[in-house]
Structure 1
Amino acid sequence: MKRIKKMKTNLWLIIFFLCLFSGRAQNGKVDKPNFIIIYTDDQGYNDLGCYGSEKIKTPNIDLMASEGLRLTNFYAQPVCGVSRAALMTGSYPIRVGEPNNIKMLHTVPDPQEVTMAEVLKSAGYATGLIGKWHLTGQGNSGPWSFDPATMPNAQGFDYFYGTPLFNGTTVYVEDTPSRSSILRNNDIVLDKVESWDHITKDYTWEAINYIKLNKDEPFFLYLAHNMPHIPLGASENFKGKSEYGPYGDAIEEIDWSTGEILQTLKDLGIDDNTLVIFASDNGPWVETTHSMIPGGKTFIPRDHSGSADPLKGWKMSAWDGGSRVPFIARWPGALKENRVSDEILTTMDLLPTIANLAGAEMPKDITVDGYDASAFLLGKEEVSPREDYLYYSGCLLTGVRVNEWKLVLPRSAKPDGLGWWGRLIEEVKTNQLYNLDKDPGETMNLADQNPDVVARLKKRIELARKELGDIDVTGEGARFFYDGPRRLQANLKK
């Protein structure tokens, strides 16, 4: 049956490409589709009009959803760096090889890892990153303190404009002496950013210029907004305008930005040859007091972070609100309009999916965790090739989802080996089982009523521990490019 299904899938794809490319050949050359991934930072599941927000106005993104596909069960990862690693490599971050075999809390893919940009570049694509990278390690060379071998230009991107890491970790820029820099390729454009008010507008014009410069060749643009990660910023046309407050201002400017990019594609006549994807890297950073300690020191005001409603949890947490995020895809003429699906898909699936659509070869000597979902994306199949998702907090395996069922494993509060990340992970004393289709807020533990489901999902957990690993186990399929054992940035206590 699987072989028959695969044959049907391949037949559909052949028919699709024949239809898509008919009439587009000029001088014997067939246009390949362009790809744009718009990736926001710390935007919650609820923080778009089409996902239920009543206070944040996002007419352009809502229109984008009505013109394409919106997913309700799309997963990234619970924290910024690991999320970007999963997107770029198509793998769970625990599988990804890192310099000197050290598993960082924010993943740093080793230069020997293969990125989405490298895969597309090998197929003749121009590759550009505008925005946040956050996949680099410390180094001693170059005009900045980052290892050039782990920067975008060395990882497949022809062009880079943005921040090497994040924009900050405080509510306001002036709360710390630390400052982020902005680079253009290997050159520092701005040494110290004192205000983030114009970053979204800046990235928008950079993105539009990149599209115009590369409109006559296939291109991949990764637009990774710094917003709405704190410290927040919004330009004059948006500051103080949102009913939600500063966080809403930032999202509404991103909505404007998305509208400008889509209009540019239309103006250039490449709208129907460009797949645009919108997603967030993780859930909202909700931490009103440090470590969410009742009565603790005030930290992030509520109008400076978003909402994952109706999901439980937020960024860094092991609940769905930490890793389930909005996903919208638009490709006029190729994707069905106004399609909403509850099927499971992840950022890891985008690499093999886009590679197939681009006619690019995936590396044959490495294992990825992503599935080619091109037939599902194009509406040729209603069922996603993915039925499961593993919940990892750093290298700690906290649970698994298979179809509607989610098993949450017992764990301690602030688990060992997670460093700063662990502060927002609370104790779970026993196995917990949730039907996410009926209970997205993870409120009704059904483990006692469904021992057979718990047992089945535990087998999936054991397979993951063997292949990928866990906080105390090195997986057989984890990649290492250096001699010696795996080490954790946040060491386990003896």
Structure 2
Amino acid sequence: MACIISFSHFHFIPSAFLLLHLFSCAPATSIGRSPHIIFILADDLGWNDVSYHGSPQIPTGNIDALAWNGLRLTQYYTQPICSPSRSALMTGLYPIHTGMQNFVIDNREGRGLPLGLKLLPEWLADLGYTNYLVGKWHLGFYKKEYTPTRRGFHHHFGFWGSHVDYFNHTASYPKNPGPFELDKDDTDTASMEWLTGLDYRSGFHPLWNYTGQYSTDVLTSEAVRVIENHPVERPMFLYLAHGAPHAGDVHEPLQAPDDYTTGFQDIGHEDRIKYAGMVKALDISVGEVFRALKNKGMLENSVIVFSSDNGPDLERIISNYATAWPLRGQKETPWEGGVKSPALIWSPLLNLPSRATYDGLVHITDWLPTFYHLAGGADSDLGQIDGVDNWNAFLNQEQPQRNELLINIDPEEDYAAIRDGNFKLIIGDFGDGTYNRWYPIYGNVSWDSRKPRDACETSVVSRIIAETGRPTVCGLDASSYATPIQCGVRQSNESCDSIKNPCLFDLSVDPCEYNNLAEHHPEIVERLRAKISQYRSTSLPPANRPSDARSDPDLHGGLWTTWAESASPQEGTPQSPTASQKSVFSMLMSFVNTLMDVASYAFGERSSIQNLAG
């Protein structure tokens, strides 16, 4: 039995529909069977910013404990930048198939993830899930129908756009039209005019009263509140999309409370110290969510995924001073440093030995079919998508489900990249190729393996796992905590310039993309070129649009908001309810009240349902 709720004619009663969903949507057999799914997405976290990858500076104890006692994904890929990665997660489609393959959705832009696409929370709602988004959306908001609670989420708390200041929760964009692609060393932000507005809300309600509260902590508290108020017998999808450790707003990009930067002074680099504090807040958040699941009795039936959305931002106006070392490139580029991201899965349902790894290819598009399988759905329901269901491969360490993945084809930037088995081909590059180098780690990189081991062993996650009676481990073994990527031998001092000639790498021996093999294996180059051409033939043009002056927050009470609501009804703009709709609403509310009474009698949980609806 499937349940699809359309909000298109009842924009004025979302809480009523949430209550209806809680009691009437799921097939009875799904309750108590489908696992709770928690997806924690970090923003611009580099490959080398988690200590289980060998980070020499920032112990990430809770994240590490999940990694060492769960399943580490060693060949996990995202898109090079925020909106494309999030679109891939939500649709199971490569961005070339949704028009999302170029730049991110700008707050000033009249664009969103196409409405004809069915998103991950909508698929899960069909199977009885209640869906929560806490944090960043970044898939369009110029009209209400593009916002999270119109795309399958029953509750959203956070921000719609790309970033916010960590304390006042505003976002700034240049007043002059044009893409927000500014190099930090070439931009005088003080002399520019800016559009600035609040982008913090619960549903459609702006949250003005959180000024001064640190955003990562606020979102953590909301995620904990969601878990505490969720009815245990209902399957939950919690998408915790942190803004951290993406830089904050342009006027003060790196922000962390002093309590979080304490202990990092030995790094000796002011910006990197602040970044370390931002990552610490993220790691604490992971622990608090884990604790909340345990306290609620949901942990044993949960699947937790932690992932970054892309590589670090190192050259732009709001650089976050993260690191993908020793990988090549950064955010926005098709090089490994831009698209190879840290990721892990933890779940009692995996029942794997400690220190397990999955070395097959995994792409961010794979989560939709994998989660749908976990929820009890049939893969055939999903139709033609690019993602694959990896659950059995994860669970049984079976043959990997994919042998190739498209990194991206961007006709605006004029590049394409693909991975096939161990081989990766790059043709063209982002921009002028400036960002395809190997970025060093900022600050002092002295390594003391006792710090991450101690952080892992004393973490909230490790303590709770131990309380469940499971053995816990921290590190590869007693003598070695983590092994960083080994780059191999560089055969030439010249690095490959993919703008001039194709670059082919064997990542099994050259993960740092040192040695171009194109001249030695022209047949592989041609084979991968043909694959790219095949993908190109199925692609849509990029849907990016120019900035629109109507988006100016000064025109909307200081808010970034749904600024195109003057569009015609044919474009799907929500209309005031008609008399017949009001009549239906009255009947629905009567039905809801009856359901509430039945629920109160049968389950004794009326108060928790009311809290959830609010």
Assess same fold via TM > 0.5: yes
Whether the 8 Å contact between 1:200 and 1:234 is mirrored in structure 2 is no
Q: Find the counterpart in structure 1 of residue 62 from structure 2.
A: 60
Whether the 8 Å contact between 1:105 and 1:490 is mirrored in structure 2 is no
Q: Distance in 1 between matches of 2:127 and 2:69?
A: 28
Instruction: Kindly provide the amino acid, as one letter, of the partner of residue 368 in structure 2.
Output: L
- Counterpart check, 1:451 vs 2:522: yes
Could you tell me how far 1:333 is from its partner in structure 2? 4.1
Instruction: Kindly provide the amino acid, as one letter, of the partner of residue 160 in structure 2.
Output: P
Distance 1:180 1:343, change over 3 A: farther
Instruction: Kindly provide the amino acid, as one letter, of the partner of residue 85 in structure 1.
Output: S
- Counterpart check, 1:247 vs 2:247: no
Q: Secondary structure of 1:131's match? A: strand
Q: Find the counterpart in structure 2 of residue 388 from structure 1.
A: 404
Identity in percent:
31
Aligned pairs (5 A) from 1:202-351? 202-214=218-230, 215-231=232-248, 232-242=254-264, 243=267, 244-287=272-315, 299=317, 304-336=320-352, 337-351=354-368
Q: Find the counterpart in structure 2 of residue 294 from structure 1.
A: none
Within the candidate set 189, 203, 212, 1:185 is matched to 203
Instruction: Kindly provide the amino acid, as one letter, of the partner of residue 49 in structure 1.
Output: S
Q: Find the counterpart in structure 1 of residue 494 from structure 2.
A: none
- The Cα offsets for residues 448-485 of structure 1, whole Å up to 9 and x where unpaired, read as 1112222221221122112236xxxx5xxxxxxxxxxx
Aligned pairs (5 A) from 1:422-433? 424=435, 428-433=499-504
Q: Distance in 2 between matches of 1:430 and 1:82?
A: 26
Could you tell me how far 1:393 is from its partner in structure 2? 5.6
Which has the higher mean CA deviation after the structures are superposed, 232-241 or 58-67? 232-241
Instruction: Kindly provide the amino acid, as one letter, of the partner of residue 148 in structure 2.
Output: P
- Counterpart check, 1:155 vs 2:151: yes
Q: Distance in 2 between matches of 1:127 and 1:137?
A: 19
Q: Distance in 2 between matches of 1:239 and 1:260?
A: 19
- The Cα offsets for residues 205-240 of structure 1, whole Å up to 9 and x where unpaired, read as 110111121133110000000111112333453144
- Counterpart check, 1:134 vs 2:130: no
Distance 1:462 1:275, change over 3 A: same
Segments of 5+ residues of structure 1 without an aligned counterpart are 1-25, 139-146, 291-298, 416-421, 475-485
Indicate the structure with greater strand content. Answer: 1
Whether the 8 Å contact between 1:38 and 1:277 is mirrored in structure 2 is yes
Q: Distance in 1 between matches of 2:519 and 2:259?
A: 54
Q: Secondary structure of 1:85's match? A: helix
Whether the 8 Å contact between 1:278 and 1:328 is mirrored in structure 2 is yes
Q: Distance in 1 between matches of 2:112 and 2:29?
A: 43
Could you tell me how far 1:177 is from its partner in structure 2? 5.6
- Counterpart check, 1:116 vs 2:120: yes
Q: Distance in 2 between matches of 1:458 and 1:201?
A: 46
Q: Distance in 1 between matches of 2:283 and 2:543?
A: 41
Indicate the structure with greater helix content. Answer: 2
Q: Secondary structure of 1:46's match? A: helix
Distance 1:29 1:258, change over 3 A: closer
Q: Secondary structure of 2:90's match? A: helix
Instruction: Kindly provide the amino acid, as one letter, of the partner of residue 209 in structure 1.
Output: R
| Larger Rg over CA atoms | 2
Q: Find the counterpart in structure 1 of residue 390 from structure 2.
A: 373
Could you tell me how far 1:250 is from its partner in structure 2? 0.6
Whether the 8 Å contact between 1:283 and 1:315 is mirrored in structure 2 is yes
Which has the higher mean CA deviation after the structures are superposed, 432-441 or 89-98? 89-98
Q: Find the counterpart in structure 2 of residue 12 from structure 1.
A: none
- The Cα offsets for residues 177-220 of structure 1, whole Å up to 9 and x where unpaired, read as 624420101111128x866x611111111101111211331100
Q: Find the counterpart in structure 2 of residue 5 from structure 1.
A: none
Distance 1:27 1:230, change over 3 A: closer
RMSD value, Cα: 2.8
Alignment TM-score, normalising by the size of structure 1:
0.78
Number of residue pairs matched by the alignment: 416
Q: Distance in 2 between matches of 1:446 and 1:334?
A: 39
Segments of 5+ residues of structure 2 without an aligned counterpart are 1-27, 106-110, 165-170, 174-183, 249-253, 437-496, 548-614
Could you tell me how far 1:50 is from its partner in structure 2? 0.5
Whether the 8 Å contact between 2:81 and 2:103 is mirrored in structure 1 is no
